[in-house]
Chains A and B, each alone.
Chain A
Amino acid sequence: MNTDLLFQGLEVTVKGLAGVFGALIAFYILIIVLGKIPVKNQEQEN
C-alpha cells in the first residue's frame, strides 16, 4: 500500500471538504443578503 498516496488522498479530502463548505457558506451569505432586496409591487401583481 502506498502511504504517500493515502496522505495525498487525505489532503484532498480535508481541503476538498473545506472548499465545498467554504463555497456553500459564501452562497448562504449571498442568499441572505440578496433576500433583503424588496419585492416590487409590480412583481407581486405579476
Chain B
Amino acid sequence: MVFNFDLLIESLPAGTTFVEYIIKMLIMFAIGGILIYLAIKKDYEPALLLPIGFGAILTNIPLTSIVTNPSNGETGIFGVLYDATIANELLPVLIFIAVGAMIDFGPLFQTPSMIFFGAAAQFGIFATMMVALLLGFSLKEAGAIGVIGAADGPTTIYVGSAFGLDKGIMGPLTVAAYSYMSLVPIIQPPVIKALTTKKERQIRMDFKQREVSKLTRIIFPIIVTVIAGIIAPESVALIGALMFGNLIRECGVLARLSETAQTTLANLVTILLGITIGTTMTAQDFLTTNTLLIMLLGLVAFIFDTAGGVLFAKFLNLFRKDKINPMVGAAGISAFPMSARVIQKMAKDEDPHNFILMQSVAANVSGQLGSVVAGSMILVLIGKIAGL
C-alpha cells in the first residue's frame, strides 16, 4: 500500500492540525531516540529502554497499523500483544518467576533484622500516592503512580493493568519506573547525604557468617507465599511467581529450569514487555501534562522511599546499642542489586575499610518482598474502595 495522505488527514486526532501532528510525531521520535541513546551509550537499563524507545518510534510512524489499523480499525500485532500479555498482567507475573530464580535470600537469613528496611522503604509509595491525589489524579491512578517508588517495574505494570488504567497512563508509568530504576546511582546518594552525617555514614556493622540449611531455603518461599496470600490474597500471583522462581533455584534438582528462568524466560519476557509498552507511547497519549507529572512523581517516589529507609534506620539507632549504618536503610527499595552496590560504594568512599555489602543486599532483597506486598496492599485497599 502506498502512503495515503487523505487517510492520514482523516485519521488525525480530533482538534489536531496536520502541523501539530507532525511536530508531535517528531517529538516522539526524539524521545524514542533519547531512550535508545540512554540504553546504548549510558547503559541505563538497556534491555528495557531500547525496546521501549524503538516501540515509541514504531507506534508514531504515520498510518502505522501495528496497534490499530487506521483504515479499518482492526487491532494490529502489538495491539494483540498488549491485550494478551499486559492488559491481563501475564508478562509482569512471568518476569517475577525469572526474578525469583535470580534472588539469593542467603544474606537475609544471615541478618534477618534488615528485613524491616524492606518495609520502611515502601513509605515513598504511599507518600507519593498522597501527592498524586493532591495533584488531581484518581485514587487508582495515584496508587499505581506511587508504586513507581517501589523501584519495581513489573509490580508497577501489574498494578496499573489490574486497575485497568488506559495506555496514556501505562506508557509514562512504565517509562518512569524503568528509567528511574536505572538512575538509582544518581538519585539515592544526594538524598542519603542530605539525611546523614559523615559520622553516621562511617558506622561499621558486624556480620557473622553462618550456614543456612537447604531445608530452610526450600521452606522459606513456600511459607512466604502462604503468609502473603493470607494477608493480601491479591498478592498471590506476584509473590507466588516470585517464590516459585526462588523455589526452582533453591530446590537443587531443577538446575536447568532455574537457568532457563534466569536467562531465556527473563530475556523473552523483557523483549516483549519493552516493545509492547513502547508501542503504547503514541504522541496523542504520551505528550500530555499527565506524563510530565507522572515522571516528576516517579522521582518524588524514589526520593521518599530512600528517605523512608534512611530515617527508619536513624530511628532504630535511638534504641540500639549496635548502631546501624543508616545508608543500609536506603537499600530497602527493590532495585536489586543496584541499590546495595550504591550503598557499599558510598560506605567505601567514606571509609575504605567499611564493608556493609551483605547487610545492604539483605535490605535490598527485603525490598523485593516489601514492594510486592506494598503493591498488593494498594491493589487490595484501593480495589475495595473503588469496588473492583
Contact = CB atoms under 8 A, between A and B. Distances in A.
B139 A8 contact: yes
13 contacts: A6-B134, A8-B139, A9-B133, A23-B232, A23-B373, A24-B118, A26-B231, A31-B108, A34-B216, A35-B112, A37-B215, A37-B219, A39-B213
Contacts of A31: 108-109, 112, 115, 220
B115 A16 contact: no
Interface in A1-45: 1, 5-6, 8-13, 15-17, 19-28, 30-32, 34-35, 37-40, 43-44
The list of the 5 closest CB pairs from A to B, nearest first, reads A13-B126, A16-B377, A39-B211, A34-B216, A19-B377
B378 A12 contact: yes
Given A22-B231, A23-B231, A24-B369, A13 B129 contact: yes
B366 interface: yes
A30 B223 contact: yes
Given A19-B231, A23-B228, A43-B214, A32 B377 contact: no
B238 interface: no
Contact of B213 (A9, A17, A22, A40): A40
B220 A24 contact: no
Interface of B: 108-109, 112-113, 115-116, 118-119, 122-123, 125-127, 129-130, 133-134, 138-139, 142-143, 211-216, 219-220, 223-224, 227-228, 231-232, 366, 369-370, 373-374, 377-378, 380-382, 385
Contacts of B380: 19
B197 to A, nearest CB: 27
Most B C-beta atoms less than 10 A away, residue of A12, A17, A28, A44: A12
A13 to B, nearest CB: 4
A24 to B, nearest CB: 4
A9 B142 contact: yes
A26 to B, nearest CB: 5
A30 to B, nearest CB: 6
Given A30-B224, A37-B219, 11 more contacts: A6-B130, A9-B139, A12-B126, A12-B382, A13-B130, A24-B118, A24-B119, A27-B227, A30-B227, A35-B109, A35-B112
Contact of A28 (B116, B125, B219, B232): B116
Contacts of A44: 211
A39 B223 CA distance: 19
A43 B142 contact: no
Contact of B130 (A9, A39, A40): A9
Contact of B219 (A10, A13, A15, A34): A34
Nearest to A36: B216
A35 to B, nearest CB: 6
Contacts of B231: 19, 22-23, 26
A25 B231 CA distance: 12
A43 B211 contact: yes
Nearest to B231: A23
Nearest to B373: A23
B129 A12 contact: yes
A10 B381 CA distance: 11
A21 B228 CA distance: 12
A13 B369 CA distance: 18
Contacts of A1: 134
Given A10-B130, A24-B115, A19 B213 contact: no
B260 to A, nearest CB: 23
Contact of B385 (A8, A30, A32, A40): A8
A11 B381 CA distance: 9
A42 B222 CA distance: 24
Contacts of B215: 37
